[in-house]
Structure 1
Amino acid sequence: MSDGIFMGGGGDDYGDAQELLLQYANRHGLIAGATGTGKTVTLQILAEGFSAIGVPVFLSDVKGDLSGLAKSGSADFKLHDPFMERAATIGLDLQYSAFPVTFWDLFGEQGHPIRTTVAEMGPLLLSNLMGLSGAQEGVLNVAFRVADEDGLPLLDLEDLQALLVWVGQNAKDLSLRYGNVATSSVGAIQRQLLVLENQGGAGMFGEPALDLNDIIATEKDAPHTGQGRINILASDKLMASPKLYATFLLWLLSELFEELPEVGNPDKPKLVFFFDEAHLLFDDAPKALIDKVEQVARLIRSKGVGVYFITQNPSDVPEDVLGQLGNRVQHALRAFTANDQKALKLAAATYRPNLKFDTAQAIREVGTGEAVTSMLIDKGVPGIVERTFIRPPSSQLGPITNAERATLMAASPMAGKYDARLDRESAAEMLAKRAGAAAQAAEKVEVEEKQLDAEKREHRQGRRYTGRDVERSTSRRSTRSDDSWGGAIATVVAKELKGTTGRRIVRGILGGLFRGR
């Protein structure tokens, strides 16, 4: 096995051959350049190189071009001759070949459905996804805490919506325990969830959730035995919801960070993760989120994961994150404005200078398929910047057909595993059951109260002295000195005479006596 991935080389005016050393491939990287300068091809050849030496890859296909990784290049391709000329120039024996590919799609249209649960996404990423204010994010954190304490699984958006209804109904009690829980904030979150649902975000949440082992895998069957699987997320439609795109990729990166064990300094990465259109992750992102990205980038390399950001300008990436990207491929930058010129100078200043040429000028002048490169060398030191012809890909340049995609998906090891959505009992169903039980209990109490009221009314209607019986009323009257004789007689006679007739006699006698007195 080679100890590096051949990136390209040069002719008379270009530098030495450039290799990405596998032992430093998990120290992250950057692919930058203006639109149309060759970033996608660079991403493609890196994915090929990692797959060939048994390293799985996860990347997003923003323009729909990268599906060609699944199909071998061909001599019939219109760029075959230029490719062969380029290969001869840089000393490459170009062999066409296909690579093992698994297609994924949040919408389940161009790939296998890929999902997570609301609980796994967490309140921080969800708040950023929905653009919540600080107060609204606080209420969302309260909802997650309630779910944890009450054992309410949050699997999909329906679960979160149901939980927020319950939080709003119990806002007063929750405020005493967790601080102010404003029903207006609950309503604002519900509206943002509706927007997210309208953007297609509901399909991202639910079960079966993605098993990370399914993307960290090598092929066991011919003709790709031992090669790393290339996982391609269809993102052309997803890009219409940039927040959803960026948040999902950041969630996946965070899951890898949290779930994978420490491996120290491996001979080669365990997985390489390409984050295309990286500026979408950082645009208007709160500081807490940027801090999380920086933390993940700093620590995930010890898990054997290399992260490569692809963007138009290095300035799109925060400086603290940019400083951790050791392997760099800089395609052409155009300097049309004063800000462009400033960005160009800043990009050039991050490279170890080469006395043979001016780095800023080289970045401005390199053509399509060419780049200014710097790879980590011995002891992880950045190599001297070089002008480089990027090698041609071995797989097809450009997309495959829909029929070819469907055939590959049907033969995929993931076929059938994620296609059918599961709907097990979770927060929405559990809260509905609790509400139903509470309603039944309330109805039972109401019925009992009505029955009790009816018995009381019936009891009172059958007595002359409402609210008093004879014995108790006469015993009270017997405490008065002037009525003691009449009270004693009433007691004795009432005990001796039984039945309706007896009671009438007693009432007649006593009535006459007391009226006489």
Structure 2
Amino acid sequence: MSDSIFIGGGGEDYGVAQHMLLKYANRHGLIAGATGTGKTVTLQILAESFSANGVPVFLSDVKGDLSGLGAAGSESFKLHDAFMDRAGRIGFADYAYRAFPVTFWDLYGEAGHPVRTTISEMGPLLISRLLELSEAQEGILNIAFRVADEQGLALLDLKDLQSLLVWVGENRKTLSLRYGNVSTASIGAIQRRLLVLEGQGGDKLFGEPALDLADIMKTDADGLGRINILAADKLMGSPRLYATFLLWLLSELFEELPEVGDPDKPKLVFFFDEAHLLFDDAPKALVDKVEQVARLIRSKGVGVYFITQNPADVPEDVLGQLGNRVQHALRAYTAKDRRDLRQAAENYRDNPAFDIEDAIREVGVGEAVTSMLERKGIPGMAERTLIRPPSSQLGPMADAMRAGLIATSPIAGKYEAQVDRESAFEILQARAEAAAREAEEAEAVEEETESVAEREYRAGRRYSGNRVGRSSSRVSRQAPAEEQPRRRSSSRRSDSVGTAFAKSFARQLGTQSGRAVVRGILGGLFRGR
């Protein structure tokens, strides 16, 4: 181990070797460049380097070819000679093939260990973002979460949220008096979005056992940081689900990890591939929170690296937090492309040896314009850099080898079986059944009371049958009463369950202690919106 990691370097027509100081690796970073210019290989060599220095890594495998991190490169690989030539050219004397410890995760539970969170932990803001809700619909969701908090209803999976929304709809009149208008149309729209999410496999994201952050911050027996690889090739079919999950994970790290100040090396490095998906159509409130997390999470020892095609995909306030940068080639085919290229060049400290804008346009595959933080956190001068070759296998590993690594993982068996403990769905179902029983018992008592009254009335009628004047008057007054109980009985059947619910809810609002369910920072901070 050392105090820095080797990015690449010099050789003829190139500048000095580039190293990233581990002390400043938690100051975040950017890997940018057009498709096919080498971003994925740069991500791979950074993940290797962090792992070799005992730093755990979390990354998403968008194209399905990063599983090779768990296998050593081979001399039989067609690029072996090119790799060796480049290693010699840039002075990478320690270059050798090796594998790294990996842990595979998959939201769908097919290509890795299942990874889950709960509805409560994700919170109303991120779920609103996931479902693309309007402001009015987000307001209904906030009401639902508030009711769940006040009534102690655990929201763990989709069926918990769906059943709670049904309950909110049934009791909308009572809820509207306290929280404002509750529209059945908005509830219906949310339920339809939940059905779409369920069809996309989103139901597999929510449930228990939820992800334990300690399981993505492990090292192996040799002190190497484990590289956590999220299978995202299938997940990219639902880009909003992908971005929301990664944002939730980032927010959980921010909330749960303790302050560590300025460590000698990061506690975890988090790579956010296809970063533009995080910011596409994102409301300003969400972008502000991402900027806040990026600014503050470094004190928790977490480095965040955004990977995207163009630096312009990242909002300026977030971009300003990214100290270590690797800029692969950008193509300038249109006027907008030229403006983006010019803006990207302006983000670097000038180097009198070359024009940065020209360099970004001209660098080839596996080359980049780089800038790393120097001592005291000063941005380094831009350099043209040959990125070092990877030590692990370039491309995906064999399916059999992957299956073997999953089976022998330190967390094998921990997340595979889903647990469905008592939560909002079961509690509300039990309340409905209890209310129905109460209604039936009340109806039976009422019918029995009416039956007794009717028998007494008939007995009295027979007793006074010879008193024609008074009896005929009594019949004219009492006869309608024989039909009235039957009409009341039928109407009471229809609303007895709803009445019992409303009364029960009103009592609980009056006695509830206000205990709130703890959830992620990006959800919890917005419960009052």
Q: TM-score, normalised by structure 2?
A: 0.87
CA distance in 2, matches of 1:211, 1:374: 35
**Residue 182 (structure 1) shift:** 1.0
Is the 1:460–1:466 contact (alpha carbons within 8 Å) kept by the matching residues of 2?
Answer: no
- Mapping of 1:212-291 within 5 angstroms? 212-220=213-221, 225-291=222-288
- Matched with 2:176 is 175
**Residue 183 (structure 1) shift:** 1.2
Structure 1 position 115 matched with structure 2 position 116: yes
- Matched with 2:490 is none
- Matched with 1:30 is 30
- Matched with 2:526 is none
- Matched with 2:44 is 44
Classify the secondary structure of the residue corresponding to 2:460.
coil
CA distance in 1, matches of 2:41, 2:464: 95
Is the 1:8–1:391 contact (alpha carbons within 8 Å) kept by the matching residues of 2?
Answer: yes
**Residue 192 (structure 1) shift:** 0.5
CA distance in 1, matches of 2:290, 2:41: 26
**Residue 411 (structure 1) shift:** 0.6
Q: Choose which of 372, 377, 380 in structure 1 pairs with 2:377.
A: 380
**Residue 381 (structure 1) shift:** 0.6
Structure 1 position 145 matched with structure 2 position 136: no
Cα RMSD for the two superposed structures? 1.3
- Label 1:466 to 1:101 Cα distance change in 2 as closer, same or farther (>3 A): farther
Q: Choose which of 401, 405, 409 in structure 1 pairs with 2:406.
A: 409
CA distance in 2, matches of 1:209, 1:442: 38
Query: 1:315 is matched by which residue type in structure 2?
Result: A
Query: 1:399 is matched by which residue type in structure 2?
Result: P
CA distance in 2, matches of 1:35, 1:308: 18
Is the 1:60–1:274 contact (alpha carbons within 8 Å) kept by the matching residues of 2?
Answer: yes
**Residue 175 (structure 1) shift:** 1.1
**Residue 467 (structure 1) shift:** 10
- Matched with 2:3 is 3
Structure 1 position 352 matched with structure 2 position 349: yes
Q: Choose which of 320, 325, 329 in structure 1 pairs with 2:326.
A: 329
CA distance in 1, matches of 2:389, 2:450: 90
Instruction: Summarize deviations over 1:268-308 as a string: whole Å, max 9, x none.
Output: 00000000000000001111111111111010000000000
Query: 2:333 is matched by which residue type in structure 1?
Result: F
Query: 2:170 is matched by which residue type in structure 1?
Result: Q
CA distance in 1, matches of 2:47, 2:176: 51
**Residue 465 (structure 1) shift:** 7.0
Query: 2:27 is matched by which residue type in structure 1?
Result: R
- Matched with 1:53 is 53
CA distance in 2, matches of 1:82, 1:164: 60
**Residue 463 (structure 1) shift:** 2.1
**Residue 172 (structure 1) shift:** 1.2
- Mapping of 1:465-504 within 5 angstroms? none
Structure 1 position 460 matched with structure 2 position 457: yes
Is the 1:139–1:186 contact (alpha carbons within 8 Å) kept by the matching residues of 2?
Answer: yes
Say which one has the larger Rg.
1
- Matched with 2:444 is 447
- Matched with 1:15 is 15
- Matched with 1:511 is none
**Residue 176 (structure 1) shift:** 1.1
- Matched with 2:431 is 434
**Residue 457 (structure 1) shift:** 1.2
Is the 1:55–1:272 contact (alpha carbons within 8 Å) kept by the matching residues of 2?
Answer: yes
**Residue 464 (structure 1) shift:** 3.7
Instruction: Summarize deviations over 1:62-111 as a string: whole Å, max 9, x none.
Output: 00010000000111111000000000000012111000000000000000
**Residue 238 (structure 1) shift:** 0.2
Q: Choose which of 317, 320, 331 in structure 2 pairs with 1:320.
A: 317
Is the 1:154–1:426 contact (alpha carbons within 8 Å) kept by the matching residues of 2?
Answer: yes
Structure 1 position 311 matched with structure 2 position 300: no
Is the 1:103–1:233 contact (alpha carbons within 8 Å) kept by the matching residues of 2?
Answer: yes
- Matched with 1:81 is 81
Query: 1:250 is matched by which residue type in structure 2?
Result: L
Query: 1:364 is matched by which residue type in structure 2?
Result: R
- Matched with 2:299 is 302
Is the 1:460–1:467 contact (alpha carbons within 8 Å) kept by the matching residues of 2?
Answer: no
- Mapping of 1:92-107 within 5 angstroms? 92-93=92-93, 94-107=95-108
Is the 1:64–1:399 contact (alpha carbons within 8 Å) kept by the matching residues of 2?
Answer: yes
CA distance in 2, matches of 1:173, 1:288: 31
CA distance in 2, matches of 1:199, 1:348: 40
CA distance in 1, matches of 2:109, 2:267: 27
- Matched with 1:67 is 67
Is the 1:71–1:395 contact (alpha carbons within 8 Å) kept by the matching residues of 2?
Answer: yes
**Residue 44 (structure 1) shift:** 0.3
Q: TM-score, normalised by structure 1?
A: 0.89
Classify the secondary structure of the residue corresponding to 2:58.
strand
Classify the secondary structure of the residue corresponding to 1:116.
coil
CA distance in 2, matches of 1:167, 1:120: 20
Specify every segment of 5 or more residues in structure 2 that has no aligned partner in the other structure, as ranges: 471-529
Classify the secondary structure of the residue corresponding to 1:293.
helix
CA distance in 1, matches of 2:332, 2:75: 37
CA distance in 2, matches of 1:231, 1:84: 28
Instruction: Summarize deviations over 1:195-220 as a string: whole Å, max 9, x none.
Output: 10011100000000000000011112
CA distance in 2, matches of 1:467, 1:87: 117
Query: 2:429 is matched by which residue type in structure 1?
Result: A
- Matched with 2:508 is none
CA distance in 1, matches of 2:160, 2:400: 37
Classify the secondary structure of the residue corresponding to 1:137.
helix
- Matched with 2:520 is none
**Residue 157 (structure 1) shift:** 0.2
**Residue 179 (structure 1) shift:** 1.3
**Residue 12 (structure 1) shift:** 2.0
Aligned length: 466
CA distance in 2, matches of 1:230, 1:171: 48
CA distance in 1, matches of 2:242, 2:210: 17
CA distance in 1, matches of 2:358, 2:48: 30
- Ranges of 4+ aligned residues in structure 1 off by more than 3 Å: 464-468
CA distance in 2, matches of 1:302, 1:328: 20
CA distance in 2, matches of 1:272, 1:215: 10
Classify the secondary structure of the residue corresponding to 2:5.
strand
CA distance in 1, matches of 2:324, 2:98: 26
- Matched with 2:134 is 133
CA distance in 2, matches of 1:137, 1:298: 27
Specify every segment of 5 or more residues in structure 1 that has no aligned partner in the other structure, as ranges: 474-517
- Matched with 1:339 is 336
